[in-house]
């Protein structure tokens, strides 16, 4: 058994309920899981199973309706200010639809987490450019996201997600909008970054081949682990 300090994520009986009109819809139905630091975990299950909701809770983007959460040894996430503070310093997030800021260039998108963390503009730009060179996007730094292919946009999004050396990288169907070959290239980069930086990887996917590359697989159905 590992000691408590090596646990990256612990959820204890997490519920998430949305109230729509007068109906309560329970989307997560008592989720308990433990993920060790440095692990790679796939979360699979049909559309609507609650994968994104669970990732948003673990990624400190929303709070559970009930249950207990411990991320990186911290268990007090009582308000949005605390949530965003820890989110910025611990979590990197990659989405299916890239979610780059369309008005900003590639390098500006990648600089953003550093600027939010208080790094000065000059250093942030140097670090962002270095990272973009490493992922083969040196020739794209001045481009807008709309001028890039889907695979290139996801590489930018991934670079932005890891630029601040997060403890946990969360990816929500990161290859869902990409063809098989491009998706596999993105996953190669994710796993390469995982071995370089050692973050914990938690990824929702529909793709069994990709799930099989992770150290463990969690299956969700109707808001429960099966």
- Indicate whether 47 belongs to the interface with ligand ADP (CB under 6 A): yes
Shortest distance, position 55 Cβ to Mg ion, whole Å: 8
Q: Residue 106 is inside which H or E element, if any?
A: helix 106-116
Residues 7-36: x where in contact with ligand ADP by CB under 6 A, - otherwise, as a string: -----------x-x----x-x---------
- Indicate whether 95 belongs to the interface with ligand ADP (CB under 6 A): no
90-125 in b/e burial notation, b at 16+ Cβ within 10 A?
bbbbbbbebbbeeeebbbbbbbbbbeeeebeeeebb
Q: What is the three-class DSSP state of 142?
A: coil
- Indicate whether 52 belongs to the interface with Mg ion (CB under 5 A): yes
- Judged by CB under 6 A, the residue of 4, 13, 48, 133 near ligand ADP is 48
Shortest distance, position 51 Cβ to Mg ion, whole Å: 5
Give whichever of 48 and 212 is closer to Mg ion, judged by the CB atom: 48
Neighbours of 12 (CB within 10 A): 15
DSSP annotation string for 111-176: HHHHHHTT--HHHHHHHHHHHHHHTT-GGGTTS-GGGS-HHHHHHHHHHHHHTT--SEEEEESTTT
Token representation of residue 100: 């780059």
48: partner contacted, choices Mg ion, ligand ADP, none (Cβ within 5-8 A by kind): ligand ADP
Nearest alpha-carbon partner for 199 in 172, 161, 173: 161
d(CA 224, CA 219): 8
- Indicate whether 97 belongs to the interface with ligand ADP (CB under 6 A): no
Where does this chain touch ligand ADP (CB under 6 A) — which range of 31-39, 40-48, 176-184, 193-201? 40-48
d(CA 189, CA 140): 17
Where does this chain touch ligand ADP (CB under 6 A) — which range of 33-41, 42-50, 82-90, 143-151? 42-50
Give whichever of 51 and 160 is closer to Mg ion, judged by the CB atom: 51
Residues touching ligand ADP, count (CB under 6 A)? 12
- Judged by CB under 6 A, the residue of 11, 40, 53, 153 near ligand ADP is 53
- Indicate whether 205 belongs to the interface with Mg ion (CB under 5 A): no
Nearest alpha-carbon partner for 163 in 106, 97, 114, 101: 114
Which residues make up the interface to ligand ADP (CB under 6 A)?
Answer: 18, 20, 25, 27, 45, 47-53
Which residues make up the interface to Mg ion (CB under 5 A)?
Answer: 51-52
């Amino acid at each position: 058994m590992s000691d408590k300090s090596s646990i990256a994520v612990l959820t204890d009986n997490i519920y998430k309920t949305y109230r729509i009109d007068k109906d309560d819809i329970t989307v997560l139905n008592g989720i308990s899981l433990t993920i060790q630091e440095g692990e790679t975990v796939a979360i699979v299950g049909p559309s609507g199973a609650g994968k994104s909701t669970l990732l948003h809770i673990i990624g400190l983007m929303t709070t559970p309706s009930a249950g207990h959460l411990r991320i990186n040894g911290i268990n007090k996430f009582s308000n949005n200010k605390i949530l965003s503070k820890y989110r910025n310093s611990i979590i990197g997030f990659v989405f299916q639809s890239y979610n780059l800021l369309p008005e900003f260039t590639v390098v500006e998108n990648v600089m953003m987490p550093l600027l939010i963390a208080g790094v000065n503009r000059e250093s942030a730009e140097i670090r962002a450019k270095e990272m973009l060179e490493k992922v083969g996007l040196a020739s794209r730094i001045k481009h807008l996201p709309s001028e890039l292919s889907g695979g290139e946009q996801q590489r930018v999004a991934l670079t932005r997600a890891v630029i601040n050396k997060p403890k946990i990288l969360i990816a929500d169907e990161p290859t869902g909008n990409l063809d098989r070959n491009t998706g596999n290239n993105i996953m190669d980069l994710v796993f390469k970054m995982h071995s370089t930086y050692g973050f914990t990887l938690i990824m929702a996917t529909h793709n069994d081949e990709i799930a099989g590359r992770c150290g463990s697989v969690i299956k969700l159905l109707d808001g429960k682990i099966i």
